[in-house]
Chain A
Amino acid sequence: MTATVRERPPAPTGTPVLSLRGINKRFGAVQALTDVDFDVVMGEVVALVGDNGAGKSTLVKVMSGVGPADDGTIEFEGRPVAIPTPHAAQDLGIATVFQDLALCDNLDVVGNLYLGREVVRIGALDEVEMERRSLDLLRQLAARLPSVRTRVAGLSGGQRQVVAISRSLLGEPAVVILDEPTAALGVAQTAQVLNLVERLRERGLGVVLISHNLADVFAVADRIVVLRLGRNGGEFPVQDVNQDDVVAAITGSRENVVAERAARRAGHPEAESVEEPDAETPHGAEEEVR
């Protein structure tokens, strides 16, 4: 039985796999990141939160090799490494699922999963093997899709996210970075994606979840790292904080507009959530809740 995604032996659950120290990044006159530290731990979901412009995307780009840091050190599995290109990140075992997913609508699920790394047998595509492995992988992830021969154009937003995340796992990564995976998804689809995130953690992967949606963060993350104005703004184990603390760290003040709104809704401080309104999605209604 060839497992499509192997559990990596070298880094057991609970050890830091990716450690960033003193990361600085400057764009012209703008200091985007200042002395940022960040750790990814095997078997843990770490949420990276912060307001717009806080440096989340810049930090993701540093880790994924899209925009290398100006200075600072990066250690991967205990060794100092450089991540100058996306390719270098992939070779190390850092997979990034960007918000635009990069799927081909006209290809089916199998075609997308194996795009660029097709299995070839005597010069021809080995569709049988690719389909079998795709089914294996999706079953391991308990991911729900219509037939794997459906074109991606026919999938809902949540299902596309599932395909994109599954695709990133084929490279057998140790770390998976998910950039706003639940943005623009309906309630049920969001739940589907969050289930998948938990499945990644069960497999012992280090998961970085970038999200604006604190409800989602609290639903799956083990640890929350807050960035504020390009600096570390606090780090919380999720069981020790409530959303107000995190919002305070994000905005830099207890007296923020979110807290004001909460106070106004007298007696229901918890009822006010900071999540953005969920965008309507066409397939949301038919989506199965798992």
Chain B
Amino acid sequence: MSERTVVADQEPKPGAGVAGAGTAAGAPGERLSRRGGLAGYMDDFVARLRSGELGALPVIVGLVVIVIVFQSLNSVFLSSGNLVNLAQSIPSTGIIAIGVVLVLLLGEIDLSVAAVSGSAGAVLAVLNANRGYSPLVAVVLALAVGAAIGLLQGLVFTRLGVPSFVVTLAGLLIWQGLQLRVLGETGSVNLPVGQALQKFGQASFVLNTLGYALAVAVSALMFLSMLRQAQRRRAAGLAARPVTELAIRAGALLVLLVVVVYVLSQDRGVPWTLVLFLALVAVVDLVLRRTRYGRAIFAIGGNIEAARRAGINVDRVRTSVFVLTSTFAALGGIVAACYLGGVDQQFQGGDVLINSIAAAVIGGTSLFGGRGRALSALLGVLVIGAIANGLLLVNLKQQDRYIITGVVLIASVVIDSLARRGRQAAGR
């Protein structure tokens, strides 16, 4: 595997009296020295686990355990029909969780997301069903309500220096009140049956051919961008991943997507709401990893003073993240309203807030800022959604679902703090 060998020659300066220990240190790769092939990957993997870089492993193990437990309790769990139900139920909370990931990366918290999503859903339903606005206008206005709320909360936080916890805790009450006011006397508004919004939430699916085409397109896009990156790295004399590895990664994604499309297509298909959620995860992932804005968010979460001294406009970034978080919350509320076919006083109440925050944390985003990624919204909401779905199948009541979801949340945070301890021991 010549491609993986360390490229840069580390010439010791004459007269510097270099001790031998420095040789591995100058390696410019993404990793230090590595054995070739699969063995090398195993080495990396084990080393990372040892040092507490667990990545997505705990979530994936958790998901496997959940699947095994519920499948053995009720064989309906893995049926296509039930998986479509699951796929329909997670996007709204998942979209809210994307916003939570963003605000957690800053090292802040937004407790108002569920209330904001409830208000946005109420605005959508009232505008569309009672006032006769077209679905598109109603959606745009509901999103605007979310963005405005985010701007307000962000400004109170950054300009007046009120802790985000307090601002958004007050917001939780205020926007719940707004939701009830918007809904008015009747307290419940149904979206017109058979029209765009209700159909989008309940009855629009990607089936067979289109699904496979999307899967192939996404995998090919990922492969090409990774390939391009590797070529540029090689041209610049940096260590790059070999083409076979890129092909394996893209291939694995392709297989995963094809299996999902195939299984869900046995029933109604892949809900468009899920496609929307996945697309948003991908976009936010790119923004976080590949733009200056994303880098600024991580920097503020890591060391706000360093970010400020590096010339980052800390207040503007923080305010904008609050706007994004509330807008994602509003979108989650819109999707939820479409999925439920209407909005009532309990809409987005109950466990939506805790589920969206738990999803971000279970997915691996740190509560302490600076560590996390968009994908955690997806992984976390899969865990939460699978548990809720499975518990319904085995006829557990609401109260037991709360208890079990709470235990899972605590377990994930415990894993995170143990991993952090591991990182500290390993000096990361």
Contacts and interface: CB of A to CB of B under 8 A. Distances in A.
Interface of A: 86, 100, 102-107, 111-112, 115-118, 120, 123-125, 128-129, 131-132, 135, 139, 142, 144-149, 151, 153-154, 156, 195, 282-283, 286, 288-290
Interface stretch (B125-133, B138-146, B233-241, B386-394): B233-241
B186 interface: no
A103 B290 CA distance: 20
B27 A111 contact: no
Contacts of A289: 19
Give the contact-size bracket for chain B: 35 or more
Given A105-B302, A112-B306, A154-B427, 7 more contacts: A102-B303, A107-B298, A125-B290, A139-B10, A153-B423, A153-B428, A154-B426
Interface in B303-317: 303, 305-307, 309-312
A148 B302 contact: no
Contact of B303 (A104, A120, A288): A104
B233 A288 contact: no
A151 B427 CA distance: 10
A105 B366 CA distance: 14
Interface in B7-23: 8, 10-13, 16-19, 21-22
Nearest to A145: B25
A154 B25 contact: no
Contacts, number: 122
A283 B30 CA distance: 22
Contacts of B19: 288-290
Interface in B342-379: 370-371
Contacts of A151: 428
A132 B428 contact: no
Given A107-B298, A125-B290, A147 B27 contact: yes
B31 A147 contact: yes
A284 to B, nearest CB: 12
Nearest to B230: A128
B298 A132 contact: no
Nearest to B306: A102
Contacts of A107: 295, 298-299, 302
A221 B425 CA distance: 37
Contact of A106 (B30, B229, B370, B426): B370
Nearest to A116: B310
Contacts of A288: 18-19, 21-22, 25
9 contacts: A102-B305, A104-B370, A106-B371, A115-B312, A125-B295, A139-B10, A146-B24, A148-B28, A290-B17
Contacts of A156: 427
Nearest to A96: B309
Question: Shortest 3 CB-CB distances between A and B: which pairs?
Answer: A116-B310, A104-B302, A106-B370
Contacts of B426: 154
A154 B291 CA distance: 24
A124 B291 contact: yes
B233 to A, nearest CB: 5
A146 to B, nearest CB: 5
Contact of A147 (B11, B28, B237): B28
A105 B420 CA distance: 13
B32 interface: yes
B16 A128 contact: no
B232 interface: yes
A288 B23 CA distance: 10
B347 to A, nearest CB: 37
A122 to B, nearest CB: 10
B28 A105 contact: no
A105 B32 contact: no
B29 interface: yes
Interface string B185-213: 00000000000000000000000000000
Nearest to A87: B311
